[in-house]
């Protein structure tokens, strides 16, 4: 409940302020979103497994977003930015799918 509320607060804040993202950061935004989603789904699954840990959640969120951004930045510098972003999205996508499957097994026993 608390988590959903916090998420909603973030959404409302974003809707109110509608911040404009600096041009330099724009390529990292979609990757950051996918990384954040991965951390959130991991947290939900851990919660359902009964092993949720605040510190682990916060650290995984921050490091996910930072590492994903760093990889894309490096890729841009090396001239393989698009390919590396695809790689990051694939890896995080696989993890999100796995975690969602875990959540589904917990919730529906199937």
CB nearer to another protein: pick between 1 and 110: 1
Which residues of this protein are in contact with another protein, per CB under 8 A? 2-3, 6-15, 18-19, 21, 26, 29-30, 32-33, 36-37, 39-40, 42-43, 45-46, 49-62, 79-82, 91, 94-99, 102
What element of type H or E holds 38? helix 29-49
Sequential DSSP letters for 46-65: HHHHT---HHHHHHHHHHHH
CB neighbours (10 Å) of residue 73? 16
- Rounded to a whole number of angstroms, the minimum distance from the CB of residue 110 to another protein is 17
């Amino acid at each position: 409940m608390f988590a959903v509320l916090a998420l909603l607060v973030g959404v409302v804040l974003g809707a109110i302020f509608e911040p404009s993202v600096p041009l330099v950061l724009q390529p990292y935004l979609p990757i950051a979103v996918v990384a954040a989603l991965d951390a959130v789904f991991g947290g939900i699954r851990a919660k359902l497994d009964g092993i949720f840990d605040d510190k682990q959640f916060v650290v995984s969120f921050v490091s996910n977003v930072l590492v994903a951004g760093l990889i894309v930045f490096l890729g841009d510098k090396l001239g393989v930015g698009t390919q590396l972003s695809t790689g990051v999205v694939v890896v995080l996508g696989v993890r999100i799918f796995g975690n969602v499957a875990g959540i589904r097994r917990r919730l529906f026993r199937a």
